[in-house]
Chain A
């Protein structure tokens, strides 16, 4: 396994073709705002679940 192949999980390519490693803070969502909203929805689902199922 070459170094490049084993560590290409964080590769980002810009519009002008430059490729670099983002390093962390990767996301499946198109924007941070969208990710924040999904995190809020999941947190609310967990909270409601705890509220109703934990006595």
Chain B
């Protein structure tokens, strides 16, 4: 199969970006820039990024449109450039124009909370910044319009962007921060991951759902959402419809949490550390943790993202443990029920499970942390990493929005939705109480 579409779309995106860069640099959009209160630093960013990515899109776009494409690896991977450019183009519109415009309109309405010295406007309270608006733009694109055929393959790049962002995030931590957050996250995640997985299995047993359904739902609700459910599915021999039920449940719950958590956090006046800890523990899907954290604190030192991702990484590290537990649990349950299971308890190869399920990107995060801790990067360089992170997460989360389809959420239903909702709500509420009681201070 040839993946590259002979379409002028990528070339057009490139030409628009080049024209945009030229107009910004030439001051043709000065009135718009002044109305939206865009800073000089962002204007420079708009010029540079428009030129760089515009040039890349034009060159690759010409090749896409006029080149001779043959089946193979080059065609497969090169075809993703168009979709990647499509995500970036939407993210740029949102970050440079839509988000500042929403802020201008919101300020015009006057403060809705806070104090005269530190007023809060509607967009602050609702977290309507480039992250949330990017995800919403992505969801509207896929659900109301359509992801164009030429962009299909590239939209799958968004998770790569998020993982690269998490790895680079390692440069922002000090040894003291990581030690403090690491201890806190191991305790909280240990309790809530294992506790919620256990509770799913317990309620599942009482409500008489199949062992495979209970197992895959426990992994999804307990650990890190869709990825965990898919990773655990073969171990508990889950059927495809059971995976679909679980994914639907996680997505519905995750999307609701991603939008509600920042609003609750602002209403309760949570600190960045408190909110990061809560989001990293209470939100089911990994990508949506980053979304909520950045929605709460979209710019500056990104403390919320730093805390949230440490918690997220900790629970991802729990994945091999949960998978092993579920493997043993499943075989025992099936044996007790008298069902024939391929392989007995003692045949669960723990070493193999750990090696296969260990998330390698966590090693990248640790590597970046080690390099950063060695004092290799100056303060200016750390600032540059923050800029990169902002764009990598904006790219990843806008692309994530383009994958959240109503059709996927409609898969939710029946017992898995009931059990997932009970355990997910308990996890969110209890982790909020624990965070408010025991997590204080800054990092």
Contacts and interface: CB of A to CB of B under 8 A. Distances in A.
A47 B403 contact: no
A18 to B, nearest CB: 4
B160 A9 contact: no
Contacts of A47: 168, 171, 368, 371, 385
Contacts of B403: 9-10, 22-26
Q: Chain B: interface secondary structure?
A: helix
Contacts of B154: 28
Interface string B243-267: 1100110110000000000000000
B405 interface: yes
Contact of B240 (A6, A18, A27, A51): A18
B107 interface: no
Given A9-B142, A42-B164, A23 B230 contact: no
B77 interface: yes
Interface in A5-48: 5-10, 14, 16, 18, 20-29, 32-33, 35-40, 42-43, 46-47
Nearest to B228: A25
B361 interface: yes
A21 to B, nearest CB: 4
A9 B160 CA distance: 17
A7 B406 contact: yes
Contacts of A36: 163, 359-361, 364
Contact of B241 (A1, A20, A27, A50): A20
A46 B164 contact: yes
Nearest to B171: A47
Contacts of A25: 159, 225-227, 230, 287, 403
B407 A4 contact: yes
B384 A23 contact: no
Most buried by A among B142, B247, B388: B247
A17 B240 CA distance: 10
A20 B164 contact: no
Contact of B251 (A24, A39, A42): A24
Nearest to A43: B167
Most buried by A among B157, B230, B403: B403
A18 B168 contact: no
A44 to B, nearest CB: 8
B285 interface: yes
B247 A23 contact: yes
Nearest to A40: B364
B247 A21 contact: yes
B289 interface: no
A50 B159 contact: no
A43 B226 contact: no
A3 B143 CA distance: 8
Most buried by B among A28, A33, A46, A54: A28
A36 B144 CA distance: 32
Contact of A42 (B159, B160, B287, B407): B160
Interface string B392-404: 0000000010111
Contacts of A3: 406-407
A54 B380 contact: yes
A26 to B, nearest CB: 4
Contact of A24 (B147, B167, B285): B285
Contact of B164 (A9, A33, A39): A39
5 contacts: A10-B403, A24-B226, A24-B403, A51-B377, A54-B380
Nearest 4 A-B pairs (CB), nearest first?
A: A23-B408, A21-B408, A36-B360, A20-B244
